[in-house]
Amino acid sequence: MTHPAQPKASHFINGAYVEDTAGTPIPVIYAATGEQIATVYAATPAIVEQALSTAKEAQKAWGKMTGTERGRILRRAADIMRERNHELSVLETYDTGKPLQETLVADATSGADALEYFGGLAGSLTGEHIPMGEDWVYTVREALGLCVGIGAWNYPTQIACWKGAPALACGNSMVFKPSETTPLCALKVAEILHEAGLPAGLYNVIQGMGEVGAALVTDPRVDKVSLTGSVPTGKKVYAAAAAGMKHVTMELGGKSPLIIFDDADVENAVGGAINGNFYSSGQVCSNGTRVFVQKGIKEKFLARLAERTGAAVLGDPQDEATSFGPMVTENQMNIVLGYIEKGKEEGARLICGGKRADMPGFFVEPTVFADVTDDMTIAREEIFGPVMSVLDFDTEEEVIARANDTEFGLSAGVFTNDFSRAHRVIGQLEAGSCFINSYNDAPVEAPFGGVKASGVGRENSKEAIKHFSQVKSVYVRMGDVEAAF
Ligand code: NAD
């Protein structure tokens, strides 16, 4: 019997599901059991061509519609997503293995927020009037044209919407390629957008591995590429986009610092560290995986952290009582287990977890290492799993220097009850998305993105509009034209 997660077809192009079984089969494995639940096929060159040509053509009329008309469609799609939240959350859980307890509140809901927010902004995307004496200049905010979105596997619905909603609001079309690991959810986003009245061809989803992504990025018809992925992939995609002088947004990896001063509220700091390390089983780019704890609070912090981490409920992710799911794939599980072994070998002190959970699926126990030093592999490399490194520190100046000593710069957090210190420290941290007495909040109203190797550009908020549109300026002369000859 066909599993309910099996999509109608692999691709969604020009307003309809499209199949081409000549492409490489991509098995979809449910991470909680290891069972294959669906199959999709990678896009063949014919599918890539169909998606790009349809998106290029459809954009012309969409870009000419009023923003209010475009926004109405996006807001209708947001409503449909909210009505179907349960069904979409179940699918997200099949796609990623993340517990339903999380997906019910973090995925389709976040996607709907993006559609609603950018739908609301669409009607107000205007230029300005710049007086020049009798003459004047006016500016027009125009669409870029055809945008490509390429997704990672940790938030397949959210990423499809975070890229699609601002792109469409600005009058662009999109071809979105989900991660080959989680190909299911973006198809539903496309289906819902079209049900809400999006004209055919404006939001297309095609499947495939890196080479399909590369084919999209290098196509001369593409005006912009927005990637969510790892730093090595980001470097390749950025370079390929640069060769074609295309706009980019790069949402990449991190190894973010979370700094806990000894005057912080311990329960809140532990809560922040749990949210910043174990949500989605640690598969979150902005996670605060280097937890710097001031020496005065260290033992108290570790004791409560171990106690509360022990309350994580590992189990069937479709059961709402489960609060901690598996790694997305067996491969990701093995990568994470490899890092745990490295942590042990390099002399970090294991506080809790530290191994594969004794159950079916790709579960790794939530793991905390203490006495981690800056040079250890687990403190330097992005693990993308439930492995928290706790490092000690003495002074504010010292911790700022150590926190910044990384190629990454996605996020940073500070827990303290001293508000001047909180702002002073955040002001010196090299990171794009920061938190004070909190961690990992990502509302659509706030810009999201990194500095240094963690990325270029911003998603969400009004900032995203700048990255999905361009400004035309028009000088208007009222008098005669003077010329030298
Ligand atoms: P990945 O870099 O392996 O793949 C990301 C996407 O890029 C996939 O869809 C993949 O098929 C595609 N791709 C690979 N090579 C390509 C190429 N040469 N040209 C075009 N596309 C190509 O990343 P992943 O393993 O799917 O996701 C995990 C990574 O994503 C982590 O590093 C994580 O930190 C990062 N991430 C960042 C954010 C953010 O917003 N900053 C959010 C989620 C995940």
Give the residue, out of 228, 330, 387, with the most ligand 1 atoms within 8 A of its beta carbon, to mutate for a pocket test.
228
* Mean pLDDT, residues 224-246: 98
Question: Does residue 134 surpass a pLDDT of 90?
Answer: yes
Nearest CA to ligand 1 atom 9: 179
Residue with tokens 């809901």: 109
The C-alpha atoms of residue 351 and residue 35 are separated, in whole angstroms, by 32
pLDDT at 104: 98
pTM of this structure: 0.97
- Report the CATH superfamily, name and number, of domain 11-252+454-472: Aldehyde Dehydrogenase; Chain A, domain 1 (3.40.605.10)
- Is 257-436 a CATH 3.40.50.720 domain? no
Q: What is the pLDDT of residues 163-178, one digit of tens each?
A: 999 999 999 999 999 9
Question: Does residue 314 surpass a pLDDT of 90?
Answer: yes
Nearest to 402 by CA among 296, 292, 299, 252: 292
Band of the pLDDT at 23, cuts 50, 70, 90? very high
The C-alpha atoms of residue 445 and residue 120 are separated, in whole angstroms, by 12
Phi, psi (rounded to 5 degrees) for 306: -65, -40
The C-alpha atoms of residue 289 and residue 390 are separated, in whole angstroms, by 8
Band of the pLDDT at 45, cuts 50, 70, 90? very high
Residue with tokens 């500095």: 451
Nearest CA to ligand 1 atom 39: 251
CA 2 to ligand 1 center in whole angstroms: 29
Question: Does residue 199 surpass a pLDDT of 90?
Answer: yes
Question: Does residue 482 surpass a pLDDT of 90?
Answer: yes
Give the residue, out of 233, 251, 286, 454, with the most ligand 1 atoms within 8 A of its beta carbon, to mutate for a pocket test.
233
Q: What is the pLDDT of residues 74-115, one digit of tens each?
A: 999 999 999 999 999 999 999 999 999 999 999 999 999 999
* Mean pLDDT, residues 6-24: 98
CA 21 to ligand 1 center in whole angstroms: 25
Question: Does residue 33 surpass a pLDDT of 90?
Answer: yes
Q: Is 251 a catalytic residue?
A: yes
Question: Does residue 250 surpass a pLDDT of 90?
Answer: yes
Question: Does residue 1 surpass a pLDDT of 90?
Answer: no
Active-site option among 116, 191, 251, 459: 251
Q: What is the pLDDT of residues 56-71, one digit of tens each?
A: 999 999 999 999 999 9
The C-alpha atoms of residue 43 and residue 23 are separated, in whole angstroms, by 6
Residue 356 DSSP symbol: B
CA 103 to ligand 1 center in whole angstroms: 20
CA 230 to ligand 1 center in whole angstroms: 5
CA 252 to ligand 1 center in whole angstroms: 7
Q: List every span in the chain annotated with CATH 3.40.309.10.
A: 257-436
Hey, which bits of 178-221 come out as E strands? Answer: 203-205
CB 176 within 8 A of CB 207: no
Q: Work out whether strand 25-29 and strand 173-177 pair parallel, antiparallel, or are unpaired.
A: unpaired
Q: What ligand 1 atom has the least distance to the C-alpha of 208?
A: 11
Q: What ligand 1 atom has the least distance to the C-alpha of 254?
A: 34
* Mean pLDDT, residues 404-432: 98
Ligand 1 cavity residues, CB under 6 Å: 150-154, 177, 179-180, 209-210, 213-214, 217, 228-230, 233, 236-237, 251-254, 285, 382, 384, 410, 450, 455
pLDDT at 14: 98
Give the residue, out of 230, 238, 277, 283, with the most ligand 1 atoms within 8 A of its beta carbon, to mutate for a pocket test.
230
Q: List every span in the chain annotated with CATH 3.40.605.10.
A: 11-252+454-472
Is residue 485 exposed (0-12), middle (13-18) or buried (19+ Cβ within 10 Å)? exposed
pLDDT at 77: 99
Percent of the chain predicted with pLDDT > 90: 100
Percent of the chain predicted with pLDDT > 70: 100
Mean pLDDT of the chain: 98
CA 250 to ligand 1 center in whole angstroms: 10
Nearest CA to ligand 1 atom 16: 210
Nearest to 431 by CA among 463, 414, 447, 408: 408
